[in-house]
Amino acid sequence: MPKVAKVKNKMPAPVQITAEQLLREAKERELELVPPPPKQKISDPDELKDYQRRKRKAFEDNIRKNRNLMTNWIKYAQWEESQKEIQRARSVFERGLDVDHRNITVWLKYAEMEMRARQLNHARNIWDRAITILPRANQFWYKYTYMEEMLGHIAGARQVFERWMEWEPEEQAWHSYINFELRYKELDRARMIYERFVLIHPEVKNWIKYARFEEKHGYINSARRVYERAVEFFGEDNMDEKLIIAFARFEEGQREHERARVIYKYALDVLPKDQCQEIYKAYTVHEKKFGSRAAIEDVIVSKRRFQYEEEVKANPLNYDAWFDYIRLLEADANTEQVRDTYERAIANIPPSKEKRHWRRYIYLWINYALYEELEAEDMERTRDVYKACLDIIPHKNFTFAKVWLLFAHFEVRQKNLQGTRRILGTAIGKCPKNKLYRGYIELELQLREFERCRILYEKFLEFGPENCTSWMKYAELETILGDTERAEAIYELAINQPKLDMPEVLWKAYIDFQIEQEEYDKTRKLYRRLLERTQHVKVWISFANFELSIQSENGENVINTRKVYSEGNKSLKNINEKEERLMLLESWQEMERDQGDEESQAKVQKLMPQKVKKRRKIQTEDGSDAGWEEYYDYIFPDEEAAQPNLKLLAMAKKWKQVQETTPTEEEEEVG
């Protein structure tokens, strides 16, 4: 490789040459054409020999200078051919082949020269030598077979093709041989060539070409056999969607729509899902053209099934995708496939021990059990599913009461009460929950096992004594059973608990219970006990309404109601709850409108406060001032400290009224 000189000075030249100058100089040099040499006319044999000697000497000198440059040999031989010196031209070609016998161009020029000279046997000899030395040079075979065919020597051309096929050339060579036989209507020979071709080049496209060849020439059964052989040849592991589509379209063309449908379904079952896109499209088009509504839906379902498979393969913990996939399969009513999919889905256990990650997953088990019971009607398998689900839940961390209760109800439907109680007893022993207790109690209530309900309620209240709903339900049960003393005792135990989640609801239930029993004295005592604990205005109003609701002939209920209101007013005054006191007075005032007279109404009206707007400073958390805010305050008449303020307010209001009336009178006088 020549050594490249390094450029030391990379600065631009002082005189720059433009592209325009370069183009101009090139154009000027084109105009400076050198005149061609004069033509030489030879009219004497001696002069011709001298010319030939000089030319040969020039060619020989060029060859001597560079023997390996095959262009010199070819030019030399072609010049000898132009001088009609065929023997000399042969000699030159032979000498050139001695130098480089693998040069394709020399062989081609040599054979073409012999063909131009109509030396056919010589040409055949050269082609034979060429294909023997260079059997992989397809040009020799093409030229040789073409020459034989042009000469009408069909058997010779076939023989050359056969020699060529022994070397198992590329696909185009086989197609050339097949087309050669088809030109002479040799269909059987072409078929035999195809048989060898698809075994040497076992590609899908070649099998399809073979089948289309048979179809084109009207051999339908042969074409079908070729497609079937191709499917068997490639097998399930190496199947290609192009072969399936071609086979199905062939059957479609023969109006064998059922066959085409079977082919498509076979491919969808055998091929991997990622290779079925084109088959789905072709199958859908086929069904839209020739299928029924059910068949079209089947194709769409198959496509959706493929999409769900891809989703769950990409993320096995995507439980929503599993739900949709299973719902789709359940619509087809293929029990084994649905079971297999359920098993695959439930195998994807959440990796963490947090309940929120299990909520969606557990519904896979529930749906599986319900499917086995309702659709498959396999009760033993349903039982096994529930047991496996309960075994897999980490009960030390959390549990799912829903699963326990569903399992218990399933056993009830199977008339296995002993099994039901064993399941719920195990659940309460392993992981007690309010929902489990309530479900167990409700079940025993439906079975009318009241003694068992009592035992369960006792266990339930030992587990959660602060649950007011449980106390009320227990007391309600005893009330229904007619044991009011037990109900009252339960309520008493309940209200004496140190900690309750909804005490106000419990007290209300107890009071309502006593009212239903028409135990009015006990109800009053209950209200008094409740007022010892809380002075809430709603309790006073409820107490007053209770007194009013008691029917009496001499109006004693109204007197008692007024006493309650009056007592409540004093109590709320002592604790300085102005807004609650106002609510109580408004309720009292409403009662007097319905039940009282003008005197009693006026008495209550005197107790009503006045609404006053006031201002106060606002302070932030750090103690700095944040401005002023307005608020409403209530001033009651019995507040001694507020009496001067009330007088002042009354005088101010009177003065304002006077100011508003005076201008009006002056305007009337002017008018």
- Give pLDDT, residue 324: 75
Look at residue 667 in the predicted model and tell me its pLDDT: 46
At 32 the pLDDT is 62
pLDDT in tens, 314-352: 777 777 777 777 777 777 667 787 778 888 887 888 887
Contacts of 486 (CB under 8 A, 6+ apart): 478
**pLDDT-based confidence at 370, cuts 50/70/90?**
confident
d(CA 591, CA 400): 52
**CA–CA distances in Å: residue 403 to residues 368, 372, 406, 418, 427:** 12, 15, 5, 18, 10
| pLDDT value at residue 458 | 65
The CA dihedral of 524, 530, 534, 540, to the nearest 10 degrees, is -30
Q: Which amino acid is at 610?
A: Q
The beta-carbon contacts of 501-510 under 8 Å, at least 24 apart in sequence, are: 501/466, 501/467, 501/468, 502/468, 502/469, 503/468, 505/468, 505/472, 506/468, 506/471, 506/472, 508/542, 509/472, 509/475, 510/475
pLDDT score at 648: 62
Over residues 183-207, the pLDDT tens digits come to 988 888 888 988 888 888 888 888 8
Q: Residue 631: in which H helix or E strand, if any? A: strand 625-635
**Dihedral angle over CA of 654, 655, 660, 662, nearest 10:** 110
What average pLDDT does this structure show over 552-560?
65
Tell if the pTM clears 0.85, that is, is over it: no
Which range is most confident: 21-30, 92-101, 430-439? 92-101
CA distances from 38 to 44, 46, 486 (A): 18, 20, 144
Percentage of residues of the chain with pLDDT beyond 90: 0
Residue 452 pLDDT exceeds 50: yes
Of the candidate ranges 105-119, 218-232, 240-254, 530-544, the one whose mean pLDDT is the lowest? 530-544
**Does 624 score more than 80 pLDDT?**
no
pLDDT digits (tens, 9 = 90+) for 271-306: 666 666 666 667 666 665 665 555 555 555 666 766
Say if residue 52's pLDDT is above 80: yes
For the ranges 41-45, 86-90, 441-445, 510-514, the one whose mean pLDDT is highest: 86-90
Total Cβ atoms within 10 A of residue 41? 6
Q: What is the pLDDT of residues 124-168, one digit of tens each?
A: 898 999 988 888 888 889 898 998 888 888 888 889 888 888 888
Residue-by-residue DSSP string for 7-30: P---SPPSSPPPHHHHHHHHHHHH
| pLDDT attached to residue 423 | 73
State residue 668's pLDDT score: 44
